Amino acid sequence: MINLHWLYVLAGAVFAGFALGSARDETNAKRWGNAAFWLLLTVSFWFGDYVGDIGNGVLVLAIVAIAGFHLIGRGSKQSATPRERQESSARRGNWLFLPALLIPFTAFVGTLLFNYTPLKGLNLIDPKAVTLVLLGCGVIIALVVSYAWLRPPLLAAIDEGSRLMNGVGWAAVLPQMLASLGVIFAAAGVGTTIGSIVGAIIPQGSMFLAVLLYALGMVVFTMIMGNAFAAFPVMATAIGIPILIHADGGNPAVIGAVGMLAGFCGTLMTPMAANFNIVPAALLELKDQNGVIRAQVPTALAMLAANILILYVAGFHL
């Protein structure tokens, strides 16, 4: 059965490629720092299960030290001039989209195959890893097709991949670091503390204020933790279930579903949700690290108001 470990082997190899590509870029004054950074991720993917928790902890500190002491930079190497790209684009036409679309297409077809056909019962892929395995398959297929068609120099994919990877830089590891921070927060009891604070300030007698506090609590706690999943059990236990459902008789399906969606409004407004907010800013080469959040705040606030209204009306008056 194909499980996550196969993917970790693949990912480790790709990061080793990024390390090699970074080392080859003489236009980057800090290229050895970049190479070391990506090589440490290879170590994590390949050997993370064998070096123990302390070993992984030391690995994390090393990764953080390289980024924290500004030992990584980015080069200015351009493999193709704008003119060459323009010509290639004109010559090859819309076929250029094909390899790029092979990745989502593989995910699409694969998800359908493994969820709705007898393939599901064969246990070819670990169910927990299906989406990532399909991503890996899509990448391999797209690479093979691109090499067969475009015939680039052997190391082109590594060089080009490193160019983009070094553009993202340390932000690439931030989501994983924040997930680790969440583990520490849970171990230190941050969630229960916040739940008890919120539980202590519940207004008496006003259903609307209780709804408001529940939704705002979801937003604020989500912004702190970076995802609504950590916030939901805490807020449901503090307000959602005892006050809104049991005491005020709210519809549990609405309180649950829309409460989570109120939390998603918080996800749109926090740098802690790095993979949605900080990483795309780096990936799109925005000057402002918080540019994506700025673009989302008006939508998030309007959606918060909408969700509070839905909670109040559908939860108690339908």
Partner 1 sequence: MIDYWPLLGIALVVAGFAVRFNPLLVVAVAAIVTGLLGHMPFMKVLATLGHGFNENRYVTIIWIILPVVGLLERYGLQERARALIGGIRGATAGRLLIVYLAVRQILSALGLTTVAGHPQTVRPLIAPMVVAAAEKQHGELDEETVERVKAMSAATDNVGLFFGEDIFLAIASILLIQGSLASFGIQLTPFQLSVWAIPSAICAFLIHGTRLLLLDRRLGRHR
Q: 292-311: which residues touch partner 1 (CB under 8 A)?
A: 292, 294-296, 298-299, 302-303, 306-307, 310
Contact between residue 315 and residue 256 where contact means Cβ atoms under 8 Å apart: no
Print burial letters for 71-104: b (CB count within 10 Å at least 16), e (below 16).
Answer: ebbbbeeeeeeeeeeeeeeeeeeeeeeebeebbe
Question: Torsion angle, CA of 72/73/77/80, rounded to 10 degrees?
Answer: 90
Q: How far is the CB of 39 from partner 1 (least distance, A)?
A: 14
Three-class SS state of 2: strand
User: What is the DSSP secondary-structure string of 104-166?
Assistant: HHHHHHHHHHHHHSGGGGGT-B-GGGHHHHHHHHHHHHHHHHHHHHH---TTHHHHHHHHHHH
When the beta carbons of 15 and 214 are compared against partner 1, the nearer one is 15
Residue 9, interface with partner 1 (CB under 8 A)?
A: no
> Which residues between 259 and 288 bind partner 1 (CB under 8 A)?
259-261, 264, 267-268, 271-272, 274-281, 283-284, 286-288
How far apart CA 196 and CA 213 sit, in angstroms, is 13
Binders of partner 1 in range 85-104 (CB under 8 A): 85-90, 92-94, 96-97, 99-100, 103-104
CB nearer to partner 1: give 57 or 203. 57
24: three-class secondary structure by DSSP = helix
The minimum distance between CB 253 and partner 1, in angstroms, equals 5
User: What are the residues whose beta carbons fall under 8 Å from the beta carbon of 298, sequence distance 6 or more?
Assistant: none
Q: Which residue of 20, 207, 212, 224 would you call a contact of partner 1, by CB under 8 A?
A: 224
Q: Pick the binder of partner 1 from 29, 122, 164, 209 (CB under 8 A).
A: 164
Which of 2, 113, 119, 179 touches partner 1 by CB under 8 A?
179
Residues ≥6 apart with Cβ < 8 Å to 140: 10
Residue 151: left (phi > 0), alpha (psi -120 to 50), or beta? left
203: DSSP letter:
P
**Interaction residues for partner 1, span 43-62 (CB under 8 A):** 44-45, 48-49, 52-61
Number of residues near partner 1 (by CB under 8 A):
147
CA 218 – CA 191 distance, rounded (Å): 12
Listed in sequence order, the residues at least 6 apart from 43 whose beta carbon sits closer than 8 Å to its beta carbon are: 12, 59
Shortest Å distance, C-beta 122 to partner 1: 19
Site for partner 1 in 197-216 (CB under 8 A): none
Which of 1, 29, 68, 208: binder of partner 1 (CB under 8 A)? 68
To partner 1, the closest distance from the beta carbon of 201 in angstroms equals: 14
For the segment 101-130, give every residue that binds partner 1 (CB under 8 A).
103-104, 107-108, 111, 115, 129
Query: Quick one: which of 24, 77, 175, 207 contacts partner 1 (CB under 8 A)?
Result: 175
Q: Interface residues for partner 1 in 231-260 (CB under 8 A)?
A: 232-233, 236-237, 241, 245, 252-254, 256-260
Within residues 132-161, the interface with partner 1 by CB under 8 A covers 132, 134-136, 139, 142-143, 146, 150, 152, 156-161
Q: Which residue has the tokens 């390899």?
A: 99
